[in-house]
Amino acid sequence: MAVDCLLASFILLIISKTGFSAEISVFVETGASVQLNIQTQGLTEFDQLSWINDKSVNIIKFFIETKKVRPHNSYKDRVDFNDKTFSLTLKNMQKTDSGLYTARTSGQSDKDIVTYRVSVIDAVKIPVLTVDSSWSNDSCVISVTCGGHELTLSSTFVYTACSREEVTSHEINTLILYCSEKSIICNHSNPVSWKQDRINITQLCEGKYQQSLYQTN
Ligand SMILES: *[C@@H]1O[C@H](CO)[C@@H](O)[C@H](O)[C@H]1NC(C)=O
Ligand SMILES: *[C@@H]1O[C@H](CO)[C@@H](O)[C@H](O)[C@H]1NC(C)=O
Ligand SMILES: *[C@@H]1O[C@H](CO)[C@@H](O)[C@H](O)[C@H]1NC(C)=O
């Protein structure tokens, strides 16, 4: 049975540099929203504030004196701007929206306040767990293989003494194979989602035990 646990819009923040004008890495699930914030402390006086993408499009321009917010035509249906915190929310993010987003103030001089590196990625697929079990030496021995994305993990568990955990990762994808109480679980995750497949060991091993009794009689 596959248990599907999807996080709608989980955001992982990795702050690569600290302080003013840091570049902040954010992962967003395809179709989800992302909110880009500004640390308003330390902002010096300015006339206007813009959020700009790496194609030099002014996604929004905010004029402090009139409190007027002017979104770019191509963004106006999917952007929210907060004129108190100056945060920008972009909705329905697609992979083509991946890139840099910068908040810039203009006054006597221009100043970049913060830059976000946004990566829009799909949720992971459910991993595929395959098992093979046998009853040997009074124990149920289970050989497991779990595959997800470009990753594969294999292990052998002995019922009821399974405690080992196997982990592998490729780029931003991680696969974890472990044993929990009465199940073997394979968890496939990336920064925006995780999904698992699990197998009931009790069921699997009881079946093998019965077969072993039948064979010895
Ligand atoms: C069976 O289990 C016993 C006791 O745990 C161990 O000493 C023995 O080596 C095992 N035999 C095999 C074939 O695994
Ligand atoms: C699967 O992995 C993710 C990311 O490491 C974690 O947040 C989640 O709790 C795990 N789920 C299970 C059932 O282990
Ligand atoms: C696993 O299988 C056993 C035996 O069929 C059953 O009693 C138990 O409820 C199952 N556990 C889970 C978590 O499905």
Residue 64 banded pLDDT, cuts 50, 70, 90? very high
180 lines ligand 3 (CB under 6 A): no
What's residue 163's pLDDT?
64
Per-domain residue ranges for the chain? 13-121, 128-216
For residue 191, is pLDDT > 80? yes
Residue pLDDT, tens place only, 85-140? 999 999 999 999 999 999 999 998 899 999 999 999 999 999 999 998 888 878 88
User: CB-based burial of residue 23 (10 Å sphere; 0-12 exposed, 13-18 middle, 19+ buried)?
Assistant: middle
What's residue 10's pLDDT?
36
154 lines ligand 3 (CB under 6 A): no
Peptide bond into 160 cis (omega under 30): yes
Mean pLDDT across 57-68: 95
> 13-121 sits in which CATH class?
mainly beta
Residue nearest to atom 5 of ligand 2 (CA): 189
Residue pLDDT, tens place only, 154-173? 888 887 676 678 899 888 99
193 lines ligand 2 (CB under 6 A): no
| Residue 139 CA to ligand 2 centre (angstroms) | 29
**Among 131, 134, 133, which Cα is nearest to 144's?**
131
Reduced to 3 states, what is the DSSP secondary structure of residue 168?
strand
Contacts of 124 (CB under 8 A, 6+ apart): 148, 149, 173, 188, 189, 190, 193, 194, 195
Give the separation between CA 145 and CA 152, rounded to whole angstroms: 7
Residue nearest to atom 4 of ligand 2 (CA): 189
Mutate to test the pocket of ligand 2, among 6, 175, 176, 199 (most ligand atoms within 8 A of CB): 176
For residue 43, is pLDDT > 90? no
Residue 147 C-beta-side C-alpha neighbours within 13 Å: 4
| Residue 5 CA to ligand 2 centre (angstroms) | 9
Residue nearest to atom 10 of ligand 3 (CA): 200
What's residue 179's pLDDT?
87
